[in-house]
Amino acid sequence: MIVKDFFDASDRRTWLENLEAWEFSKFLAGLRRHQFSTVDSRVAALELAASVGLERFPNNRYVLAPALASLLDCGLVTTVVAHLAEAREELADSEYLMAVFGRALGMRGRRNSRDVAFRLAELMETRPLSANELAWVHERLNDPHHQVPAFFEPWPQGPQALERLERFEGVLQVPNLPNYSVRIVASRTQIERFANRLKNCLNTLTERILADKTRIIGVERDGHPFEAVEVNPRGGLIRQWKGLSNREADPTTRPTIERFLLEIGAIRQRRPGGALW
């Protein structure tokens, strides 16, 4: 009945401020399961409850976990990662918070990092994190790509993680696709050209592209930007391949273009196995 009491309250914030920590944790779990009539009403309730919980119990992991999970339900991934970055000690000592972190990474497109975080959450049930595992967590928390949800950075494996790709020069015609070509997008002008044409957030990566911390291969059709491929220069793995408005790559042309990029050494394929840390 605790969720019903919340909806019946004339002042919901005041009602939330009178809950004890254990009641708050139980309430958040029930609120997340509640069947709302609209998405907007669900987001409004979850965001209010989570924000009050974080204000009142910022260091209580039993409130932190469901509160941050509630914010993820609202799509507030950046906010959740910021809270986890401030609560690093609690994160490193709570499998529940680690599971929330894994979900946040997955929502940011970090599928490999998500899987590692979920694996850590399972391990934390029986032992504390190692120094290398803690270093990995801190690295992910400090990752600037959390501000760019459309891109995905895979985890390089083994010796491949140390190898940087050579850059190809000029505009190259794609064999068997007469109207398609590829180029390295490496200038501010070209970055803006692709970002404007594809209607995406590519220009937010400008400084990282210019410093070759991330690499963009532009796919053009009939001389116009058609898709953008983000590649990790260290290891050569594709981070993400997107078309107009962050749509998935054209499945009819991607295999041919990807095979060509592999042949010229512009990308590499993932190798099985390798160290996780």
Q: What is the pLDDT of residue 153?
A: 44
Burial class of residue 236, CB neighbours in 10 A (0-12, 13-18, 19+): buried
* Statement: 2-147 belongs to CATH 3.90.660: no
Q: What is the pLDDT of residue 65?
A: 93
Residue 109 zone, left/alpha/beta (φ > 0; ψ -120 to 50; rest): left
- Residue 242's H or E segment, with its range, is strand 238-242
CA triplet 141, 147, 153: central angle to 5 degrees?
Answer: 70
Helix axes 21-33, 61-73, angle to 10 degrees: 20
The 180-185 sheet, strands edge to edge: 172-173, 180-185, 215-221, 224-231, 238-242
DSSP state letter for 229: E
pTM for the predicted model, two decimal places = 0.54
Give me 245's structure tokens: 């408005």
What CA–CA distance (Å, rounded) separates 191 from 230?
A: 12
| Residues in a beta bridge with 164 | 234
Q: What is the pLDDT of residue 203?
A: 86
Q: What is the pLDDT of residue 270?
A: 62
- Asked if 241 and 213 touch (Cβ cutoff 8 Å), the reply is no
Domain ranges of the chain: 2-147, 158-263
Q: What is the mean pLDDT of each run of 10 residues along the chain (277 residues)?
A: 85 92 92 88 90 91 92 86 90 93 84 87 92 89 60 46 76 94 95 93 90 93 95 84 88 92 86 37
Q: What is the pLDDT of residue 1?
A: 56
